[in-house]
């Protein structure tokens, strides 16, 4: 269980009264592995295409919509190859990458190390739920390695504790709006991040906060801890040489991957998505991590036209994805051995996460698993829609549309309602290229 879910402000629309989330629903079985998605030759379902065109109306140039069936066949499409700002739909990419690279049992670690030279170092991997009580345990273990005592007449020096971090200028992706950085959803991305570097607002100096908590914990014992911030970039090689002989004095693990995925996708938690992308890429620099993610997408057969990744969360307005890219990714992940974990991480229409207040009392409730996305002028929603003909993989991105939420509901209902397509019935066989 996640100890403290910090709900992102990036939701599809202003919150309605919150309903209690039900127990996690079991997703359907994994779809058999198939070939490439069939995106050429136009849409196979004219009735659905007509419904899609009607829903967007005169705003068609502002929309990208793609609907795939379980065979990877394009049923309906509008501007599916045009790259647009995806907002938090970006998290579908980061979490897929992380699940594939790290596996379902992965946990982020925070450790206190004693190096061969006797120095102490606390090493973090960005646990988004690192708590005050856990930091207090680290403080007491560090104090036990040396420091002052209230019962001794001898005055001891403070405990020196190294903390490895990226330089401050790398705590945020370069193109995050400065106005966002002061809010909890835009908190700095650091390796050692107590409560995701956020309270009611972002914690702008995580090291100072950490220093204060460490010392308040040990002062009653007569101790003091002094942090030494170590530049990760310049000190990494030297530290790596000594780490093999280092002793782990104390360790705290994060929630398991399925909980981290759910925090990122169900609650749209930006910090978690950023950390997962970096950990999956095995590099903390956001530009290099984005490049590794891009290469992974290409290897999955995802359409790459106009694709551009600038962060892991979607808060950057420099990101570009197409609705075809997202729908193909969803379809491909449905064939992944870990597909159940991926789908289970998403919000559920009318029931859970950022979709819990949408589509109550409709045929979509409990049957659409998806990810919302919101920035100023941007609305996106992508996910897996259960129909009588099996799952459909739907992606919708609107950049500048007037009333996108209503249109999205219409398209989802049409995608669910319009089942047997004439083109399938006439053909009677799978499209060429699908095996």
Average the pLDDT over each of 128-132, 145-149, 352-356, 387-391 and give the range with the smallest value: 145-149
The answer to whether residue 43 scores a pLDDT higher than 50 is: yes
pLDDT of residue 429: 39
For residue 39, the model assigns a pLDDT of 67
pLDDT tens by residue, 151-191:
444 446 789 999 988 889 999 999 999 999 999 999 999 99
pLDDT at 20: 41
pLDDT of residue 239: 55
* Local structure of 98: helix, strand or coil: helix
CA distance linking residue 63 with residue 399, whole number of Å = 7
Q: Are 372 and 12 in contact (CB under 8 A)?
A: yes
User: Which pTM does this prediction carry?
Assistant: 0.86
Span(s) in the chain for CATH 3.40.710.10: 46-105+262-422
Kindly tell me if the per-residue pLDDT of 264 is higher than 80.
Answer: yes
CA dist., res. 267 & res. 279, Å (int): 20
List the one residue out of 10, 92, 108, 100 whose CA is nearest residue 343: 92
- CATH number assigned to the domain covering 46-105+262-422: 3.40.710.10
* DSSP H or E stretch at residue 47: helix 46-56
Judged against a pLDDT cut of 90, whether residue 50 lies above it is answered with yes
Residue 32 is predicted with a pLDDT of 53
CA distances from 23 to 45, 344, 348, 351, 352 (A): 35, 11, 11, 10, 9
Does the pLDDT value for residue 419 go beyond 80? no
Helix or strand holding residue 164 (H, E):
strand 159-165
pLDDT above 90 (res 145): no
Q: Are 90 and 97 in contact (CB under 8 A)?
A: no
Percent of the chain scoring above 70 in pLDDT: 81
Average pLDDT, integer, range 353-364: 95
pLDDT of residue 231: 76
CA distance 275 to 125: 8
- DSSP structure string for 311-380: -SSS--TT-BB-HHHHHHHHHHHHTSTTHHHHHHTSEETTTBGGGTTSSTTSTTTTTEEEEEEEETTEEE
Q: What is the pLDDT of residue 221?
A: 84
More confident residue, 263 or 16: 263
Mean pLDDT, range 290-300, rounded to an integer:
97
Mean pLDDT of 37-55: 83
Q: What is the pLDDT of residue 9?
A: 30
- For the segment 110-127, what is each residue's pLDDT rounded down to a tens digit? 999 999 989 999 999 999
Residues 218/143, Cβ–Cβ less than 8 Å: yes
């Amino acid at each position: 269980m996640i100890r403290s879910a910090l709900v992102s402000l990036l939701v599809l629309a202003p919150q309605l009264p919150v309903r209690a989330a039900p127990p996690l629903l079991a997703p359907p079985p994994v779809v058999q592995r198939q070939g490439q998605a069939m995106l050429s030759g136009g849409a196979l379902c004219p009735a659905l295409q007509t419904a899609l065109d009607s829903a967007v109306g005169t705003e068609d140039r502002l929309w990208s919509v793609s609907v795939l069936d379980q065979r990877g066949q394009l049923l309906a499409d509008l501007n599916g190859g045009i790259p647009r700002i995806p907002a938090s739909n970006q998290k579908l990419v980061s979490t897929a990458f992380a699940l594939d690279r790290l596996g379902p049992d992965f946990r982020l670690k925070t450790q206190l190390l004693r190096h061969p030279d006797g120095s102490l170092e606390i090493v973090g991997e960005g646990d988004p739920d690192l708590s005050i009580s856990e930091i207090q345990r680290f403080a007491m273990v560090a104090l036990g390695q040396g420091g002052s005592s209230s019962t001794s007449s001898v005055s001891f020096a403070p405990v020196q504790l190294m903390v490895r971090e990226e330089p401050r200028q790398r705590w945020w992706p370069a193109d995050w709006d400065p106005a966002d950085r002061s809010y909890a959803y835009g908190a700095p991305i650091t390796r050692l991040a107590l409560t995701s570097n956020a309270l009611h607002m972002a914690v702008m100096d995580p090291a100072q906060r950490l220093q204060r908590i460490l010392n308040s914990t040990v002062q009653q014992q007569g101790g003091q801890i002094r942090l030494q911030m170590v530049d990760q970039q310049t000190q990494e090689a030297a530290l790596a040489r000594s780490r093999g002989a280092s002793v782990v004095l104390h360790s705290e693990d994060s929630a398991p991957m399925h909980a981290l995925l759910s925090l990122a996708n169900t609650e749209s938690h930006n910090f978690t998505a950023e950390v997962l992308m970096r950990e999956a890429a095995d590099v903390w620099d956001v530009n290099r991590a984005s490049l590794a993610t891009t290469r992974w997408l290409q290897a999955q057969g995802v359409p790459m036209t106009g694709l551009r990744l600038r962060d892991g969360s979607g808060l950057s307005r420099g990101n570009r994805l197409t609705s075809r890219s997202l729908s193909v990714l969803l379809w491909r992940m449905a064939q992944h051995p870990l597909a159940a974990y991926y789908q289970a991480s998403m919000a559920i229409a009318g029931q859970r996460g950022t979709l819990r207040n949408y589509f109550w009392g409709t045929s979509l409730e409990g049957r659409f698993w998806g990810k919302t996305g919101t920035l100023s002028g941007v609305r996106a929603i992508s996910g897996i829609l259960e129909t009588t003909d099996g799952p459909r993989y739907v992606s919708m991105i609107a950049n500048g549309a007037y009333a996108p939420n209503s249109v999205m509901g219409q398209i989802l209902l049409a995608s669910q309602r319009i089942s047997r397509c004439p083109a399938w019935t006439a053909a009677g066989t799978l499209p060429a290229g699908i095996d």
